[in-house]
Structure 1
């Protein structure tokens, strides 16, 4: 029996009202990788981890957007490069929180590596001040905490498919 693509069930209004108090912010990250080197950007002017090194490209997943399409979009917007979804290597999915208890701190982060892209990576937006390649064995001291966790565990071969950070 063939199902129509729009035949998916939705939550009834009463169920949603009783269970809809959750909020998790989804974000996608990609690390462009060349051998044992990773491309990082120096954040600036965002109010969050400014002057810290971060993923090659990252951003929030928009409503109705698949996570792989989100990271392809972010790489284009932030670095001016073209990625193919088939070239994304899933690294880990991280459930992350901060000690504030605020809804904005309840996160799910999808991490990818990519070794193939079109174009030359260059900063395209004002939210980064620098873009540099670093050896995975010599990451800058001020690498965003949860991103360093992923990079070091990936480098060491100990990164689980699902991780929790901040709990």
Structure 2
């Protein structure tokens, strides 16, 4: 990746000049942990990270608060119902994506409770669901997911990935 003198990816130069406001992509991620194991899904038929393990996740949609984004994604992907008030924000990751140079805010939520039985409600996007011990995550996990889970395990609520030191 080509970088400017100030360390920013060259692809960001046109987006960070003058008075243009920063536009963030906001992702929401569900951290379901049971007896020390976290639920991950293997992505399939996606343009991003196909074949890698990742948390149930998605993006905010226009006009939607972040908590509704997370409960919607949980219903769509896992067929479970979570009350917005039952979500706890456990980690915030500011991620600079090396592939496209976009700044992404990744929000990780843990539910206090949920209703329903977890199952793969989107088999066309998710090859499989599996509970992985937090200390033995798969080698083919999305790197920022592994980073965030490590930070959550250590009790850190904020981190950054991909930004120049």
TM-score, normalization by structure 2: 0.81
Aligned-pair CA distance for 1:101: 5.5
Q: Which has more radius of gyration? A: 1
Aligned to 1:127: 125
Q: Check 1:96–1:141 CA distance in 2 against 1; reply closer, same or farther (3 A cut).
A: same
Aligned to 1:75: 74
Aligned-pair CA distance for 1:100: 4.8
Aligned-pair CA distance for 1:162: 2.4
User: Quick check: 1:106 aligned with 2:103?
Assistant: yes
TM-score, normalization by structure 1: 0.80
Contact 1:42 1:131 in 2 (8 A): yes
Matches within 5 A, 1:18-167: 19-55=19-55, 57-100=56-99, 102=101, 105-125=102-122, 126-157=124-155, 159=156, 161-167=157-163
Aligned-pair CA distance for 1:22: 2.6
Contact 2:97 2:104 in 1 (8 A): no
Aligned to 2:4: none
Gaps of 5+ in 1: 1-17
Gaps of 5+ in 2: 1-17
Aligned-pair CA distance for 1:114: 2.3
Count of matched residue pairs: 145
Give the root-mean-square deviation of aligned CA atoms. Answer: 1.6
